[in-house]
Amino acid sequence: MSEQRTYHGTLIEVSFGSDQVQRTVLEQYRQLVADHDPEDVLVVAGSPTSMTTFEAMLEPELTGAAMPRVTSLIVHATDVINRTDDRAILSDAMRRELVHRFLDDRDWESDYLRRAAEQDSFEADFAQLMETAVWQGIEFDTTPELRAVTAAVDEFHAWLGEHDHLERVLCKQVLEEVVRDVFDSFWSSLVAVFSC
């Protein structure tokens, strides 16, 4: 039986796209670094592209050579998994190569997918559909062809697991399993900035 843990903190919700997001993060960050070492304050942005924005905004709040610790959820998840898990996290290029190998020998049950597989762009298009489905958390189930996409994604992930590989998008899910213990041992404060 797994141990259930609780965390105490404050959730501050700010409408995405408003000028309040940066102002609120800056306010919370100032309060946290007043009470904690800046190395113990982690800012987790919703996407890697937001990291630079928040680093630049928070850097003037620190003295000397101190730098704000800013990451994104996927980068943080990857770091945690690299420290706690033996599986290799696939780069985007390696994922594409392995998906193409996986799809190359696949026998499709559907006539539609069998005919489509004969097209030059099929593997690339199907690989993109698989990736989009995983990133968006979509499980197709309305037609036999769409169920075949879901089955292919599941089989691909099982195949990766058998070979001790992990798709980067799944890092978020794995992070949920390990972050509680790792968080306690690395940071005492957290500012998370996500958009939904």
Provide the residue type at 110 as one letter.
S
Residue 3 has a pLDDT of 47
Provide the residue type at 164 as one letter.
D
Length of the chain: 196
Residue 38 has a pLDDT of 87
Q: What CA–CA distance (Å, rounded) separates 129 from 146?
A: 10
Residue 169 has a pLDDT of 73
Provide the residue type at 160 as one letter.
L
Residue 196 has a pLDDT of 32
DSSP state of 126: H
Residue 117 has a pLDDT of 92
Render each residue's pLDDT in the chain as its tens digit; 196 residues. 344 444 455 667 777 666 788 888 899 899 888 988 888 888 888 777 888 988 999 999 999 889 999 988 778 777 777 777 788 888 888 888 999 889 988 889 889 999 999 999 999 999 999 888 887 888 888 888 889 989 999 999 999 989 988 887 776 666 555 555 444 444 445 555 544 3
Residue 125 has a pLDDT of 93
Residue 76 has a pLDDT of 79
pTM tops 0.75, yes or no: no
Residue 121 has a pLDDT of 94
Helix (H) / strand (E) containing 165 = strand 165-166
Q: What CA–CA distance (Å, rounded) separates 50 from 71?
A: 9
DSSP state of 43: E
